[in-house]
Chains A and B, each alone.
Chain A
Amino acid sequence: MEAAYTAPPLLVSVSPHIKDGETTARIIWTVSAALAPTGVMGAFYFGPRAVVSMVLCVAAAVASEYLFQKLLKRKITVKDGSAFLTGLLLAFNLPPAVPFYVPILGAMVAILLTKQLFGGLGFNVFNPALMGRVFCVITFPRLLTTWSAPTAAFTALDARTCATPLNILKMDGMGNLIDSFGGASPMYFQLLTGHRGGCIGETCVAALLAGALFLLYKKYITWHIPVAFLGTAAMIAWIFGGTGALCSGDPLFHLLSGGIILGSFFMATDYVTSPSSRGGRLLFGAGCGFLTMLIRLKGGYPEGVMFSILIMNCFAPLIDRGFRPRLFGATKGKKK
Chain B
Amino acid sequence: MRTGPFTFRGGIHPPDSKERSKDRPIVAAKIPARVVVPLLQHIGAPCAAAVTVGQALNKGDFVGTSGGFISAPVHSPVSGKVTGLVHVPHPSGMKVPAVSIENDFAETWKDLRDEPECSGLSRDDVVGRVHDAGIVGMGGAAFPAHVKLSPSHGFAIDTLIINGVECEPYLTADHRLMLEKPFDIAEGAKLIMKVLGVSRCMIGIESNKPDAVAVMKEACGNGTGVTVHAVKIKYPQGAEKMLIKALVNREVPLRGLPMAAGVVVHNVATAAAVYNAVRYGRPLIERVVTVTGDAIREPKNLLVRIGSTVADAIEECGGFSREPGKIIMGGPLMGFALPSMDMPVTKGTSGIVALSKETVLHNDEFGPCIKCGRCIDVCPMGLVPSVLGVLAEKGFYEEAKAYRVHDCFECGSCTYVCPSKRPIVQFVKLAKSLVKP
Contact = CB atoms under 8 A, between A and B. Distances in A.
B231 to A, nearest CB: 17
B425 interface: yes
B334 A26 contact: no
B417 A22 contact: yes
B360 interface: yes
Interface stretch (B34-42, B68-76, B208-216, B248-256): B248-256
A22 B423 contact: no
Nearest to B362: A11
Interface stretch (A117-125, A209-217, A260-268): A117-125
A121 B367 contact: yes
Interface string A248-280: 000000000000000000000001101111100
Interface in B237-256: 241, 245, 251-254, 256
Interface string B315-350: 000000001111110001111111111000000000
B13 to A, nearest CB: 9
Given A8-B323, A331-B253, A20 B14 contact: yes
Chain A interface residue bracket vs B: 35 or more
A27 B374 CA distance: 12
Interface stretch (B114-122, B221-229, B407-415): B407-415
B179 to A, nearest CB: 25
Interface stretch (B23-31, B46-54, B378-386): B378-386
Interface residues of B, number: 67
B325 to A, nearest CB: 6
B14 A17 contact: no
A121 to B, nearest CB: 6
A12 interface: yes
Contacts of A123: 368
A8 B357 CA distance: 10
Nearest to B368: A122
A216 B22 CA distance: 36
Contact of B370 (A19, A121, A328): A121
A13 B336 CA distance: 8
Given A16-B334, A20-B416, A8 B361 contact: no
A138 interface: no
A331 B253 CA distance: 7
A27 B253 CA distance: 37
Interface in A112-155: 119-123
A13 B337 contact: yes
A121 B327 CA distance: 35
Contact of B417 (A15, A20, A24): A20
A327 B332 contact: no
Contacts of B326: 10-13, 17
Contact of B423 (A14, A18, A80, A328): A14
A12 B341 CA distance: 12
Contacts, number: 161
Contacts of A277: 373, 376, 384
Nearest to B410: A15
Contacts of A300: none
Contacts of A80: 367
A26 B372 CA distance: 13
Contacts of B169: 18
B382 A12 contact: no
B241 A329 contact: yes
B87 interface: no
A243 interface: no
B254 A27 contact: no
Contact of B419 (A27, A278, A329): A27
A329 B252 contact: yes
A14 B421 CA distance: 13
A105 B341 CA distance: 59
Contacts of A14: 337, 423, 425-426, 429
B355 interface: yes
The listed residue with most A CB atoms (<10 A of its CB), out of B245, B332, B368, B379, is B368
Given A324-B384, A329-B251, A329-B252, A16 B372 contact: no
B425 to A, nearest CB: 6
Given A121-B370, A326-B382, A329-B256, A26 B419 contact: yes
A328 B9 contact: yes
A185 interface: no
Given A19-B361, A20-B418, A278-B377, 15 more contacts: A7-B340, A7-B341, A11-B360, A12-B338, A12-B339, A15-B335, A15-B410, A17-B360, A19-B415, A20-B416, A23-B421, A121-B370, A320-B387, A327-B382, A331-B253
13 contacts: A7-B341, A8-B323, A11-B337, A14-B337, A15-B410, A17-B335, A23-B420, A24-B419, A271-B370, A271-B373, A325-B382, A327-B383, A328-B245
Closest 6 CB pairs of A and B: A122-B368, A16-B412, A276-B373, A14-B426, A325-B382, A17-B332
